[in-house]
Amino acid sequence: MLYREAGDFKTTYAADSQTFPIKFDRWRYWAVLAIAWLVIPFFINDYWANAILVPFLIYAIAAIGLNILTGYCGQVSLGTGGFMAVGAYSVYKLMTSFPDVSILIHVVLAGFITAAVGTAFGLPSLRIKGFYLAVATLAAQFFLVWLFNKVPWFYNYSASGQISAPERFVGSIAVTGAETAPWAQYMICLFFVTLCAVLARNLTRGSLGRQWMAIRDMDIAAEIIGVDPLKAKLTAFAVSSFFIGIAGALFFAVYLGAVEVGEAFGIQKSFLVLFMCIIGGLGSIFGSFAGAAFLVLLPVALKVLGVDVLGWPSSTVAHLQLVAVGGLIMFFLIKEPHGLAQLWRVAKEKLRMWPFPY
Amino acid sequence: MNMKTFATAALAGLLASGPALAELVLPDLSYRTGPYAANGTPFSDGYQDYLNLLNARDGGIGGEMIRIDECETAYNTEKGVECYEATKGDNSLIYQPLSTGITYQLIPKATADSIPMHTMGYGRTSAAAGETFPWVFNYPATYWDAASVAVNYLLSENGDDLSGKTIALIYHNSAYGKEPIRTLEALSEKHGFKLTQLPVDPPGQEQKSQWLQIRRERPDYVIMWGWGVQNQVAIQEAANVGYPMDQFIGNWWAGAEPDVLPAGMAADGYKSLNMNRIQDYPVLDEIRTQVIDAGNGAGDGSNVGQVLYVRGMYAAMLAAEAIAKAQELAGTSTVTPAQVRDGMEALEITNARMTELGMEGIGPEFSVSCQNHSGSGEGLVQQWNATDKVWVPLTDFIAPDKDVIDPLIAEDAAAYAAENGITPGCL
């Protein structure tokens, strides 16, 4: 009954190639956007912003970025944490060096700086593949963290080596710093998420996305039919790092407000974002959102259930959480390698014929 | 309905009723998991057991029962922020995150929300400047006091002359470990010793290269700013390279039973600073009988009396004394976080009071004021006796070199005030 194509006639080429070809999908999409933009900001409080929605939105951007590289172009990367650090430190240096320029411009510029760094670290991908590339990106992760710890210029010579975001405004509304209202934090992240998701969705549908997927599916065949591997791989690294850089910038400036590189952008962050892609679904924008939501919500949900409802000791719940995440990753790798996005696709197929399946 | 129950209702589909309001809520941002659990667990046990003792013995503080809200942070800043947001709506009185990283995160948030923080001997040293950081307290001592106490101890060992000596600082490569560098650099200039810096990347299981460098350069003393698994590994590695234990001094976060026990007899003679004297206090017996034996202990009772347990208990005692002071000042037993802050700022801990509480000589005498949130800054040096498995206090409380520290604090606080547009002043 839902998600039916019947009766939804496409009379122009534009209508035929739109993002959501099914009418119900379009309605759902606009409904989600309307709730996110017009309803949630009026109800959000500190806890929901800081513990759930802001980290979810930021991790969603990072997961989209990694999904472009790993899910669409097939290049495994373990350098996500390092690239997020580049975004964070770029936006910090820009914020403190040019305090009069809008933070929105700084965040986008931080994305471009990260794109440049990502492209440089993407060069080895032209020679090496698979596990070996993963090791090369792992080197990027460790090198970047070491660099931001070692060179005091990056943290403006502060005694503790921490960077902390000064207060910045969009119009007259504070979006960074301690006085930021929860809805302002949420709105700036939502703005960038919407921008990034629309951009990513359209890039992956276009010729660039098809080149990436061709490289992913079989690089030699892609080269024979005329896909330039140099261009395809490096653009994937650049676009992916651009998104990850924006995520890192928001993570530091809007979400945490103060970070130290080893703790906030260590190897665990790279794995966390990779798990989001795997659990959410490789090669799917929706999967990036689903994976981010899942891994942000799971610990909070487990904590609320275990500590507040069942009254278990907090340490037991923390240990259980590790077990649950590990178990789920194994479960998804074995049972559903395409992740939550595939479950969603199957559900859509079922709903199409519901309530009269044949 | 508070935020956490709101989340409960939303996520679990359950309706939970709000807690009774006439309670003193003390959140405990603890960590009993991860690479820092060995150190986080006894501290949290001591903190909770003392508060439970007050509930059991005195009926809380000033007639109001205490409720402890425990939240697991795993020493991770993101989880720390989540814990803070989840608990702050419950009229939480004092935050003690036991993590310098989380402290840096919470200083602006707690200041904006008007909730006091007590970062006892950790956190941001310049929070001692109470006019710039009105909501943050780090009495009885700061990291820079610790660095100075360690150097003063070495001065007394060497006939007040350290010129030409080399001191290596092996530190947790984070905001925590980097804190003492500025003071040690100033002290090295003043006393003419050479300072070598050896960062260890957290969590610190891998320290081979740092200890090879120590073996090669043979510094006269090694000072360690470590935490969690880093301490155990460092002491083991020091034993492996044959570095003399009595020239190896940890700060007060690198000198507890879980740090030295894994190395066994090899750790014998290892020294560390402490802000508490370790001995048998009458209050520990009360905790054993009224809390642990009654089945209300936070842990199994095996770490009662250990270094970090005593420190957690000391932290709880300071919090309870500040709340009592706040009740006295406000003239009401149901105090708000802002009134507790005033109580903390008027806090005075005397030897007579510590004796009365059954913990004679547990810490230095000190008083807090609006200008000085860090207390006296005194610390003592203790040594590990691996045969009897006890920490033996070697010295009495040693005073730090305030001539060096005070200008540094003023400078750092002024920089913070300028960066964040704060006009220093008393509340």
Nearest to B173 among A48, A149, A317 (CB): A149
Q: How far apart are CA B111 and CA B103, in angstroms?
A: 12
Average pLDDT, chain B: 90
Question: Which segment of A297-311, B42-56, B206-220, B330-344 scores lowest on mean pLDDT?
Answer: A297-311
**Cβ–Cβ pairs < 8 A, chains A and B:** 127
Joined together, the tokens standing for residue B53 give: 């003792």
| Eight-class DSSP state of A228 | -
Interface membership of A259 toward B (CB under 8 Å): yes
Q: Would strands B221-225 and B248-250 be described as parallel, antiparallel, or unpaired?
A: parallel
Nearest to B85 among A47, A178, A303 (CB): A47
pLDDT interval class at B13 (50, 70, 90): very low
CB-based burial of residue B214 (10 Å sphere; 0-12 exposed, 13-18 middle, 19+ buried)? buried
Q: Find the residue in B nearest to A308 (Cα).
A: B8
Instruction: Kindly provide the ipTM of the predicted complex, given to two decimals.
Output: 0.86
Q: Find the residue in A nearest to B88 (Cα).
A: A47
Joined together, the tokens standing for residue B168 give: 């290596």
Nearest to B105 among A167, A257, A308 (CB): A257
Joined together, the tokens standing for residue B123 give: 């956190």
- As a whole number of Å, the end-to-end CA separation of chain A is 13
pLDDT interval class at B7 (50, 70, 90): very low
Interface of B with A in 246-275 (CB under 8 A): none
H helix intervals, chain A: 13-16, 23-34, 40-43, 46-47, 54-66, 80-97, 103-122, 130-150, 182-205, 207-217, 219-224, 229-250, 261-264, 267-280, 285-303, 314-335, 339-353
Contact yes or no for A65/A242 (Cβ under 8 A) = yes
Q: Find the residue in A nearest to B74 (Cα).
A: A318
Interface of B with A in 33-52 (CB under 8 A): 33, 37, 41
Residue A79 has phi, psi (to 5 degrees) of -105, 15
Largest separation between any pair of C-alpha atoms in chain A: 69
| Identity of the amino acid at A43 | F
If DSSP codes are grouped into helix, strand and coil, which group holds residue A99? coil
Interface membership of B78 toward A (CB under 8 Å): yes
Closest chain A C-alpha to B87 CA, distance in angstroms: 9
Q: How far apart are CA B107 and CA B127, in angstroms?
A: 9
Contact yes or no for B101/B82 (Cβ under 8 A) = no
| Identity of the amino acid at B372 | N
pLDDT at B67: 93
Residue to test with chain B: of A56, A58, A303, most B Cβ within 10 A: A303
Interface membership of A181 toward B (CB under 8 Å): no
Identify all chain A residues contacting B111, using CB atoms and an 8 Å cutoff: 178
* For chain B, percent of residues with pLDDT exceeding 90: 78
Q: Would strands B117-118 and B136-137 be described as parallel, antiparallel, or unpaired?
A: parallel
Interface of B with A in 406-425 (CB under 8 A): 412, 419-421
Interface of B with A in 204-243 (CB under 8 A): none
pLDDT interval class at B354 (50, 70, 90): very high
B277 vs A52, A54, B261, B395, CA distance in Å? 43, 45, 19, 10
H helix intervals, A44-79: 46-47, 54-66
Interface membership of B372 toward A (CB under 8 Å): no
Closest chain A C-alpha to B356 CA, distance in angstroms: 33
Residue to test with chain A: of B76, B90, B178, most A Cβ within 10 A: B178
Within 13 A of A234's CA, how many CA atoms are on the CB side? 12
Locate the domains of chain A by residue range.
27-266
Instruction: Answer yes or no: is pLDDT of B368 > 80.
Output: yes
Q: Please indicate whether, in this complex, the C-beta atoms of B37 and A315 are within 8 angstroms of each other.
A: yes
Nearest to A304 among B8, B77, B181 (CB): B8
Within 13 A of B130's CA, how many CA atoms are on the CB side? 21
Identify all chain A residues contacting B68, using CB atoms and an 8 Å cutoff: none
* For chain B, percent of residues with pLDDT exceeding 70: 95
pLDDT at A245: 97
Q: Find the residue in A nearest to B32 (Cα).
A: A315
Identify all chain A residues contacting B178, using CB atoms and an 8 Å cutoff: 159-161
Does the structural domain B3-142+282-376 have CATH classification 1.10.3470.10? no
pLDDT at B16: 36
Closest chain B C-alpha to A240 CA, distance in angstroms: 24
Q: Would strands B390-393 and B380-385 be described as parallel, antiparallel, or unpaired?
A: antiparallel
Interface of B with A in 143-202 (CB under 8 A): 173-175, 178-179, 181-182, 199, 201-202
Contact yes or no for B286/B358 (Cβ under 8 A) = yes
pLDDT at A56: 96
Interface membership of A256 toward B (CB under 8 Å): yes
Q: Please indicate whether, in this complex, the C-beta atoms of A160 and B88 are within 8 angstroms of each other.
A: no
Kindly report the pTM of this predicted structure: 0.90
Locate CATH 3.40.50.2300 in chain B. 3-142+282-376, 143-277+380-406
pLDDT at B22: 62
Interface membership of B56 toward A (CB under 8 Å): no
Instruction: Answer yes or no: is pLDDT of B406 > 70.
Output: yes
For helices A54-66 and A182-205, angle between their N-to-C axes, nearest 10 degrees = 20
Residues in contact with A172: Cβ distance below 8 Å, sequence separation at least 6, in sequence order? none
Instruction: Answer yes or no: is pLDDT of B133 > 90.
Output: yes
Interface membership of A195 toward B (CB under 8 Å): no
| Identity of the amino acid at B380 | L
Q: Please indicate whether, in this complex, the C-beta atoms of A47 and B7 are within 8 angstroms of each other.
A: yes
Q: Please indicate whether, in this complex, the C-beta atoms of B5 and A260 are within 8 angstroms of each other.
A: no
Q: Please indicate whether, in this complex, the C-beta atoms of A256 and B88 are within 8 angstroms of each other.
A: no
Can you name the residues that pair with B172 across neighbouring β-strands? B200
For residue A130, count other CB atoms closer than 10 A to its CB.
Answer: 10
3-state SS string over chain B? Answer: CCHHHHHHHHHHCCCCCCCCCCCEEEEEEECCCCCCHHHHHHHHHHHHHHHHHHHHHHCCECCECEEEEEEECCCCHHHHHHHHHHHHHHCECCECCCCHHHHHHHHHHHHHHCCCEECCCCCCHHHHECCCCCCEECCCCCHHHHHHHHHHHHHHHCCCCCCCCEEEEEEECCHHHHCCHHHHHHHHHHHCCEEEEEEECCCCCCCHHHHHHHHHHCCCEEEEECCCHHHHHHHHHHHHCCCCHHHEEECCCCCCHHHHHHHHHHHCCCEEEECCCCCCCHHHHHHHHHHHCCCCCCCCCCCCCCHHHHHHHHHHHHHHHHHHHHHHHHCCCCCCHHHHHHHHHCCEECHHHHHHCCCCCCCCCEECCCCECCCCCCEEEEEEECCCCEEEECCCCECCCHHHHHHHHHHHHHHHHHHHCCCCCCC
Query: Which is nearest to B402 in space by CA: B425, B422, B375, B370?
Result: B375
Contact yes or no for B319/B96 (Cβ under 8 A) = yes
pLDDT at B114: 93
Within 13 A of A120's CA, how many CA atoms are on the CB side? 11
* CATH of span B143-277+380-406: 3.40.50.2300
Q: How far apart are CA B83 and CA B71, in angstroms?
A: 6
Q: How far apart are CA A132 and CA A76, in angstroms?
A: 9
Can you name the residues that pair with A312 across neighbouring β-strands? none
Query: Which is nearest to B306 in space by CA: B314, B317, B296?
Result: B314
Interface membership of A198 toward B (CB under 8 Å): no
Q: Please indicate whether, in this complex, the C-beta atoms of B82 and A260 are within 8 angstroms of each other.
A: no
Closest chain B C-alpha to A55 CA, distance in angstroms: 9
Closest chain A C-alpha to B361 CA, distance in angstroms: 32
pLDDT in tens, chain A (358 residues): 788 888 888 899 988 888 888 888 899 999 999 999 999 999 998 889 988 999 999 999 999 999 999 999 999 999 999 999 999 999 999 999 998 999 999 999 999 999 999 999 999 988 888 889 999 999 999 999 999 998 999 998 887 888 888 889 998 899 988 888 999 999 999 999 999 999 999 999 999 999 999 999 999 999 999 999 999 999 999 999 999 999 999 999 999 888 888 889 999 999 999 999 999 999 999 999 999 999 999 888 888 888 888 888 888 888 888 898 889 888 888 888 889 999 999 998 888 888 888 7
CB-based burial of residue A152 (10 Å sphere; 0-12 exposed, 13-18 middle, 19+ buried)? exposed
Residue to test with chain B: of A304, A305, A322, most B Cβ within 10 A: A304
Q: How far apart are CA A150 and CA B22, in angstroms?
A: 50
Q: Could you check whether the bond before residue B140 is cis, i.e. omega within 30 degrees of 0?
A: yes
Q: How far apart are CA A148 and CA A155, in angstroms?
A: 8
Interface membership of B299 toward A (CB under 8 Å): no
Q: Please indicate whether, in this complex, the C-beta atoms of A178 and B82 are within 8 angstroms of each other.
A: no
Q: How far apart are CA B348 and CA B325, in angstroms?
A: 9
Q: How far apart are CA B142 and CA B126, in angstroms?
A: 9
